[in-house]
Structure 1
Amino acid sequence: MSTQSTLKNLIFDLGDVIIPIDLTAPVRNFAMLANLSEDEVMAIWKQFDIIGQYETGLVDDTAFRDHVRKLLKNDSWADEVIDTAWNTVLLELPVERVERIKELKQNYRLFLLSNTSPIHIRRVNQMLTSLNQPTLEELFERVFYSYDVRIAKPSPEIYQHVLTEAGLVAKETAFFDDNAANIESAAKLGIQAVRVEPPMTILDYLKDV
């Protein structure tokens, strides 16, 4: 990563960078609710690309829930049941990560870029509020959600969209993500892409920033 004198902008992923996630948890929960195996639920997810459609804005909250009810063959599930199972992907939010990001606002322009869904963003903001922290929209200068942009990482178009919309110079910008493909795609545009890999957390990578 460049020295502080040339680094002006920081872009953060959300899942497993700011908030720890368990990608298998929703599958487990929906499997229990539907009395199916986890493999069966995963196969349905992949066959119909439910997550991809939802996270790129092709379907809204209502259509997503209706798809889940139809494909898992249970018309009686309330919205709250589906939302709760869907949100089990989100683990406890480490408040110290939020505090460090708030400190960085003094010296850098901060942005969020996440492949995500409206249900997840509402839940993360509820968690932040309960911790007396600003919402994501308040914490960052701008947030870029895949369902709003209608493009998902690692597509190069989403990184170019962020650079253009926010008026950023790639070489003056660092991007933190846990996914290797996302990092590789951003780096090809000249962004200083940093992969956050366990057991290290974003706090380790932000020590020298």
Structure 2
Amino acid sequence: MQPEAVIFDIGNVLIEWQPERFYDRVIGVERRRAMFAEVDLHGMNEKVDLGGHFTKTIYETAEAYPAWHDEIRMWHDRWIELASPAIDHSLRLMKALQARGVPVFSLTNFGVESYDFAATHYPFLRDFDRDFISGHLKMTKPDPALYAHVETTSGLSGAQLIFADDRADNIAVAAGRGWQTHLFDGPQGWADRLVAAGLLTKAQAA
């Protein structure tokens, strides 16, 4: 069946999210590897995604690792450089869907304050028809309860929804609930999937 709403992950679907790439550029590959081996930076970020305060969580982690204090604080102080650039073709797809009257939702692991900050640089983050942001909901993908919340709140479920995410574990839970899914590995594949679903023409998906 043709989906009734389209759900976008944000990191690596609408905005590139590559912290390692940022640190490789700023402190070098070897130092980055050493820091990531000693400090669970992605675990720190998970706390933010679950609703922990953006500044407090990162700064407290920096204080706990004096040898990496300045580098850890970059996760906060230079955050927009970690979350960049926007993936322009994906953004065009979002706008094309909405121009056709197709509701577009976000479903993202994202902190409260970090999302608000990102929206000052990427205004399109305020343009979703519905937002499902983990920091506000206090649960992250791939927790099935988060997907159930999307269904309950939107009144849509199963094949009425089509969802793009760059992580296979997040996609697997959605597929298990009967959602139509797309494992994102670039905007052209997502464009082709939306055309195949009958939501956009090839011209609209360009």
Taking structure 1 as the reference length, the TM-score comes to 0.77
Deviation at 1:184, TM superposition (A): 0.6
- Aligned 1:111-122 pairs, distance under 5 A: 111-122=105-116
Deviation at 1:73, TM superposition (A): 1.5
- The AA in structure 1 aligned to 2:8 is F
Does 1:37 pair with 2:26? no
Deviation at 1:188, TM superposition (A): 0.7
Partner of 2:204: none
Deviation at 1:25, TM superposition (A): 3.1
- Give the whole-Å Cα distance in 1 for the aligned partners of 2:42 and 2:190: 33
Structure with the larger helix share: 2
CA spacing shift, 1:73–1:201, aligned 2, 3 Å: farther
Partner of 1:92: 85
Partner of 1:159: 147
Q: Is the 8 A contact 1:111 1:142 kept in 2?
A: yes
- Give the whole-Å Cα distance in 2 for the aligned partners of 1:26 and 1:56: 23
CA spacing shift, 1:27–1:150, aligned 2, 3 Å: farther
Deviation at 1:179, TM superposition (A): 0.7
Does 1:136 pair with 2:130? no
Deviation at 1:119, TM superposition (A): 4.9
CA spacing shift, 1:191–1:204, aligned 2, 3 Å: same
- Give the whole-Å Cα distance in 1 for the aligned partners of 2:186 and 2:139: 27
- Aligned 1:178-189 pairs, distance under 5 A: 178-189=166-177
Deviation at 1:111, TM superposition (A): 0.4
Match of 1:66 among 59, 69, 72: 59
Any unmatched runs of 5+ in structure 2? 200-206
- Give the whole-Å Cα distance in 2 for the aligned partners of 1:92 and 1:50: 22
Taking structure 2 as the reference length, the TM-score comes to 0.78
Match of 2:178 among 184, 190, 194: 190
Deviation at 1:187, TM superposition (A): 0.7
Deviation at 1:155, TM superposition (A): 1.2
Deviation at 1:142, TM superposition (A): 1.1
Deviation at 1:153, TM superposition (A): 0.8
- Give the whole-Å Cα distance in 2 for the aligned partners of 1:142 and 1:157: 17
Partner of 2:203: none
CA spacing shift, 1:128–1:198, aligned 2, 3 Å: closer
Instruction: Give secondary structure in 1 for the equivalent of 2:16.
Output: coil
Partner of 1:132: none
Q: Is the 8 A contact 1:93 1:127 kept in 2?
A: no
Q: Deviations along 1:63-120, whole A, 9 cap, x unmatched?
A: 223223213327986xx85524333322221334323212212332210001122454
- Give the whole-Å Cα distance in 2 for the aligned partners of 1:56 and 1:144: 12
Partner of 2:4: 8
- Give the whole-Å Cα distance in 2 for the aligned partners of 1:76 and 1:44: 12
Deviation beyond 6 Å, 4+ runs, structure 1: none
Does 1:18 pair with 2:11? no
Any unmatched runs of 5+ in structure 1? 130-134
Instruction: Give secondary structure in 2 for the equivalent of 1:92.
Output: coil
- Give the whole-Å Cα distance in 2 for the aligned partners of 1:38 and 1:142: 37
Partner of 1:176: 164
- Give the whole-Å Cα distance in 2 for the aligned partners of 1:205 and 1:13: 15
- Give the whole-Å Cα distance in 1 for the aligned partners of 2:39 and 2:48: 11
